[in-house]
Amino acid sequence: MSNTIKTRLVKIGNSQGIRIPKVLLDQIGLTKDLEMEVQGDRLILRAARKPRQGWAEQFREMAAQSDDILLDLHTHQTSTWDEEEWTWE
């Protein structure tokens, strides 16, 4: 379902803003945190992604393809302290 609603820019301090009707917010599920992007002559608003969103899935996929080895494995040098005194708590 597509809704087209006319609105106006309103002054908010030194900036300008728009009021987004509740019916549109409900239709796309926007909440407090948003991302804005300009594409040509369009301003795109979308719900903000969470930090590290999708990382767990990407790590599982990497492990399934055996692409999750440490890249600096051969450059890591240990000392006697690492081997004798270091403990995990």
Predicted confidence (pLDDT) per residue in 32-81, tens digit: 888 999 999 999 988 888 788 888 999 899 989 988 777 776 666 777 77
Q: Return the exposure string of 66-78: e unless at least 16 CB atoms fall within 10 Å of the residue's CB, then b.
A: eeeeeeeeeeeee
CATH classification code of 1-69: 2.10.260.10
The residue ranking higher by pLDDT, 84 or 78, is 84
The pTM score is 0.47
pLDDT at residue 75, as a whole number: 66
pLDDT at residue 7, as a whole number: 86
| Dihedral class, residue 9 (left if φ above 0, else alpha if ψ from -120 to 50, else beta) | beta
pLDDT at residue 79, as a whole number: 76
